[in-house]
Chain A
Amino acid sequence: MVLSGADKTNVKGLFAKIGGQAEDYGAETLERMFAAYPQTKTYFPHFDLGKGSAQVKGHGKKVAAALVEAANNIDDIAGALSKLSDLHAQKLRVDPVNFKLLGQCFLVVVATRNPALLTPEVHASLDKFLCAVGTVLTAKYR
């Protein structure tokens, strides 16, 4: 699956509009993921996952930063996320199905906070982008 020129424009445009709120988007994405897909909590036994958790906020910030980085380097997501890809393959080993779940929750956060931004075209592009990120992060698994 290849990101078209229009996809790249849509994704960059979306992240530009989200701007500094990306951190909040990241935190809420995780909160929603843990609520909707409790099995994802198994990767965070060491976290306090209660409401307002500072650890979840901190981790959401990291996740969002990675998405922003990927969007800013959208012509070479594999290059931009290479170290993160190594980390997921060697240490974290999050099962690939979970990236879809995170992606779904990120889309929901964008939809709840900025419905006008998420036109069908942007929705399609963002979904593709999130798939591409998941693919990169699991690329070195085996």
Chain B
Amino acid sequence: MVHWSAEEKQLISSVWGKVNVEECGAEALARLLIVYPWTQRFFDNFGNLSSPTAIIGNPKVRAHGKKVLTSFGEAIKNLDNLKATYSKLSELHCDKLHVDPENFRLLGDILIIVLAAHFGKDFTPSCQATWQKLVGVVAHALAHKYH
């Protein structure tokens, strides 16, 4: 089980409290699809992903980004029980969605950059370190049921 210090929990909740889940989720997913275009392979049914402008404006991207980040919020509420919280989602990503777990790491790194752009200097090195730990642990939990 992962240990979270009081300071880490504080850094997580204080940032999360100020995040607009819909905007942040949409931006993170859009940037994933733009910066790492091979990730588009999972979204054949999303329609127009032909350019950064198309991706950013795509309503399915926005909606899915919001869904993904809302789920991330669940992780934050269950920091001490992540593997259980994500057990079914992990199975889904393996058995039905067939997503390489490397993609969770890519999205996590992108999320950090979106947060950094939003919070500026307030996204201190300690803050980044805590959040890099968090996205790593989330990615690990999502990969845990893979077989």
Binding site for B on A (CB under 8 A): 28, 31-32, 35-37, 104-105, 107-108, 111-113, 115, 118, 120-121, 123-124, 127
Contact = CB atoms under 8 A, between A and B. Distances in A.
Q: Label chain A's interface by main secondary structure.
A: helix
Contacts, number: 62
Interface in B108-146: 109, 112-114, 116-121, 123, 125-126, 128-129, 132-133
B34 A104 contact: no
The 4 A-B pairs at the shortest CB distance, nearest first, are namely A115-B117, A111-B116, A111-B117, A35-B125
B144 to A, nearest CB: 22
B113 A35 contact: no
Contacts of A118: 113, 117
B57 to A, nearest CB: 12
Given A108-B112, A112-B120, A124 B125 contact: no
A113 B113 CA distance: 12
A37 to B, nearest CB: 7
Contact of B128 (A108, A120, A123, A124): A108
Given A32-B125, A37-B132, A121 B34 contact: yes
A107 B123 CA distance: 13
Given A107-B116, A127-B35, 16 more contacts: A32-B128, A35-B125, A36-B125, A36-B132, A37-B132, A111-B113, A111-B116, A112-B121, A113-B120, A115-B118, A120-B30, A120-B35, A120-B56, A121-B52, A123-B34, A123-B35
